[in-house]
Homo-oligomer: A and B are copies of this chain.
């Protein structure tokens, strides 16, 4: 694990924690974007941004079957360059110190990024999408239809209270 930056800013606090070990992840593929350095990443992906490629491991391709029915997909990925011990942070943009959980900074105890992207097309075990802001080579963790698209398809179950 390479730290994104090693120095803390004034007012930032870190936490000494034992090694992470409560649950384990298995990378399901790799994200290909045009962004080779952190400074090149937009702060937020845009649906008119460049096409990016979600490359699943070939043996997982069948897991995509049916995804073409959705316009938008939620993507979860592992922010592999992020340090994990910052409890409070001072974003460069404003210098105010806030808690890590009040920020969307990649630096967090479990550095999982989430984005909702526009699905352009499927290409075998890969999806072409727009709207990502992460580094090229970011490990992929999960893909799922966005909830609003999903809820249209699902019939109610008894535990769904209908208002």
Instruction: List residues of chain A with CB under 8 Å of any chain B CB.
Output: 13, 15, 17, 19-28, 35, 39-44, 46, 48-49, 56, 59-60, 62-67, 69-70, 74, 76, 78, 80, 84, 87-88, 91, 93-94, 96-104, 108-110, 112, 114, 139, 141-145, 147, 150-151, 154-157, 159-161, 163
Query: Chain B residues with Cβ under 8 A from A143's Cβ?
Result: 101
In the bound complex, how far is the Cα of B129 from the Cα of A125, in angstroms? 38
**A114 (CB) vs chain B CBs: closest residue:** B114
In contact, A25 and B26 (Cβ under 8 angstroms) = no
Distance between Cα atoms of A56 and B25 in the complex (Å):
21
Is the CB–CB distance between B87 and A62 below 8 Å? yes
Beta-carbon contact of B42 and A78 below 8 Å: no
Cβ-defined partner of A99 (8 Å) among B20, B67, B139, B161: B67
Q: Provided the pairs A155-B94, A157-B43, A159-B43 are in contact, do residues A102 and B69 lie with their beta carbons within 8 angstroms?
A: yes
